[in-house]
Structures are given as structure tokens and as C-alpha cells.
Amino acid sequence: MNLLINDQPHQLPAGATLSDALALIEAKPPFAVAVNRQFVPRSNYGAHLLQADDRIEVIRPVTGG
């Protein structure tokens, strides 16, 4: 299935979870994740099933002022 991760196209097999998508891009903590603009708690990454055309945003904290 086709997905967008941080506006970049990616493909994962049907039945993939958010954890699979994060592994695909080798995401390193700390970060927060939203799927289709809805925040997903870290505890749900493995259970959150993805659908074709989902938009995933991996947001990293920004420091400074």
C-alpha cells in the first residue's frame, strides 16, 4: 500500500502497523507521530494498523529560542 511519511511516498505491505512505518524510515527518538493529523500515543504504535494513502507525520522536538 502507498503511504506518505513526512510528505515522502513509501510502500508497505497490507496489514502494516505504525511501528513498521517507523522502522522503514529508521526513526530515532525523541519524536511524536500523527496519522492523518491525529496524534498516536507511543503505546499504540504496534497496534495502529495503517490504511492505503495514510499521511504520517513524524515530528521531532525543536529547541532554541
CA dihedral 6, 11, 13, 19 (to 10 degrees): -20
Query: What three-state secondary structure class fits 31?
Result: coil
On whether residue 14 sits in a domain, the answer given is yes
24 within some domain: yes
- pLDDT on residue 64: 80
47 domain residue, yes or no = yes
Q: Measured between alpha carbons, how far is residue 12 from residues 7, 29, 52, 53, 60 in Å? A: 15, 21, 9, 11, 23
Question: Is 42 domain-assigned?
Answer: yes
Judge whether 65 lies within some domain. Answer: no
CATH code at 51?
A: 3.10.20.30
Q: How many domains does the chain divide into?
A: 1
pLDDT, one tens digit for every residue, the chain (65 residues): 999 999 999 999 999 999 999 999 999 999 999 999 999 999 999 999 999 999 999 999 988 86
Domain of residue 32: give its range. Answer: 2-59
- CA atoms of 45 and 65, how far apart (whole Å): 31
Residue 32: its pLDDT value, please? Answer: 97
